[in-house]
Structure 1
Amino acid sequence: MKTTNTFGIRFFIKNNLIKDGEAPIYSRITVDGTRVDISLKRKINVHDWNPVLGSAKGSKESSKSLNHYLKELESRIIQIYQEFQIKKNPISADAIKHELLGTETKEHTISMLFEYHNEKYRNVLAWGTLKNYFTTQKYVMAFAKSQYGKDDFFLQDINYRFLNEFELYLINYEPQDHHKRLSNNGIMKHLERFRKVINLALRMEWMVKDPFAKFSLRYQKVEREYLTPAELKQIEKKKFDIPRLSYIRDLFVFACYTGLSYIDTVNLKNHDVIIGIDEEYWISISRQKTQQKSNVPLLPQALDIIRKYMDPDRAYAKGKIFPLISNQKLNAYLKEISIICNIKKNMTFHLARHTFATTVTLLNGVPIETVSKMLGHASLKTTQVYAKVVEQKVSNDMKELRRKLGNSK
């Protein structure tokens, strides 16, 4: 584990700038392979310079005076480096140069970038999405502390090696609480969010090189679970004696027949239900996550649930159709429902969205373009993850083909 930097100082003359037999003297500071040159505003006759020792030759007074100056300057640079180490400041050759010259550094750090991003998008991104950026920031900062012994890190020092080591850090990360270890796709999500904030830094011209230019994200294909028609009917028909479970079941079934996410469901307002072009009831909203427009014709099952909760003494009086419940509690209660209904699947609210995309729509022959529009996806490619071949659909299609071929024969 790396906790120190490689650090070096040397003095040299620039032979390509010789004039009248004299060359300017420079100091070169190197940190972790990155170097900066500083003009000392002094010149020396090239014959009086020792390039091996990086100092003036001879015992004359001018040589002694110059060497004394170089020694003091070297001590000052070392002192700055050590002060950065003690204060746990991000260390770079440029930072040392700015401290030495007393100039204002224009370098930006990881924490500055995340803070700027999170403030900039605070009213744009959904809270759940923004919270994920906070988590990614926490992992990046913990990595910088663990791997480099730094409380922060200069953006210009982020390179392919940094990203590769960060990925390994996430792979080997052992959670201290009840959470599971990060999956491959969970790690890729953190790297994807980090890449987005790095792209912001590039647009702001806080970075020159893109460290992600040669870095590839490697997602593993995951089969999306969904409820079969039989499982969905089983949940619909189940009678619950506990009111909270009955309510959670209604919310879940509503999402199965509309494809709405958790946040769009609990934020659904009475004026979001409109009369569509077919004179039937529709839901018309802008998805909170993507701000994409989503227009969904209301199926009878979903409309019945809306009517059930249009109670002026409850949430409907405040403009929202459904009483608010946190996503965490909702998913915890769904686990109870899955046990009661003997459904051996990971019952989360997002499973309802998968069920709408597959069992309710695609399985029943609704074109994927239509499904994509109702889900509020910006790209058809996003919808295609739901369009796995469903065996029942294959069976139905082949039955129809047999019928046609039989008639033809």
Structure 2
Amino acid sequence: MSELRLTPAALLVWVVLLSVAVEVPLIGVLCICFAAACAQGLRHPGQALLLFALGSCALVLGSVRADQDPGLSYTGTVIAEPTATKSGGWYVQVSVPGVSAPQAVFPRELEQVVRGSTVRVDGNTVESMAPPRGFSHTIAAHFRRNVEARTGPESHGLLPAMVLGDTAGQSEEERRVYIATGLSHLSVVSGANISLVTSTAFMLLRWAGCSPRWQVAGAVAVLLGFVALVGLGPSVLRAGMTGLVSLAAVAGSTRMQPAHALSLGVIALLLWRSDLAAQFGFALSVAATAGIVGCYPFIYSALARLGWPDVLTRAVAVAIAADVMTMPIVALMTGEVSLISVLANVLVEPATAPIRVLGVAAIAIPQLLYVLEPCAWWIYHVAYGAAALPVTTVRASPQAVLVGYGWVMVALYYLRTRV
């Protein structure tokens, strides 16, 4: 169980920063004392010291950053595509110089504001001052134009989103369809993007006969290059962390187990960006990765007894593993869960890998878009076909989801031991 030795520290850092975010730091102090006392009582003085040190560091950093207030009027940069809210307004995230956490703004009206725009915020009014600038935005605009010129309408919103996290071409209807079918994770730069790109580089370098050190160095270089392409937004930070965890798994290093790498990544990322502790997106990324790392082997061994083709068994096992961990969070966030997310994700799985790997190459070689268009067409029609079913989502509480998936795991355990 040595691969889990950093898990208590990662959870403690998360809880402490969350207590600061909700303005109840006393809970964080009590958690630090309790965790350190438990470790000491179990005769793990090193663990107790680590918990106390990291918990205290998180408490201090979180408290200092919580005091950073830009006021009601400030100038900043939009770090993610604005999203429409159910009340008819907009949700905009603005990065302000000198303030660690991005500011959330909810304007009623929004004009000419996209990711990368320089804006002036006055209360809940957001005014565009300058269009997006920089290397990543130039690349995104170039790729979007190539997609629109060479592919059908089904690909216009999906390909830029899957390759670069650029959702500017997606309509609100498309976004709702992807959310209802559990495919919205395809429209952001995720750990899957980075893990596939870096793993491909890793395997190519291994095939070329490079030493393990050069394989890892090459994969990290590809990771840094990919981040430069897509920009350093919130989803990219999460993707970088989960992608590095997947890279640790592909590397097969006995010194860095995936669970250990995940805990280390959570600690480092939360200490760097304390605001992530209170973001559902970060919780979903960590939960999905933890599910794949921890639950996938068990689920795969249970489903393997059914005699399905191995590629189908693996796809279903990954989808269930991610759903087991993320669905309670989704229920807490939205009050409902998708009934078709596992099916939809299994159906689109064969089409996602080519887009994520070849899509990066298509930025420089636009002729590859003709190869990728059928994959995007398939994902688009699976999403709309699934969304047209009579029932796609149901109202559910996190407790109900935990109970439901608890029985799923019991059934899989029975299948594993009896079949």
- TM-score scaled by structure 1? 0.21
Which of the two has higher C-alpha Rg?
1
Bigger helix share: 2
TM-score norm. by structure 2 comes to 0.21
Larger RCO (alpha carbons 8 Å, 6+ apart)? 2
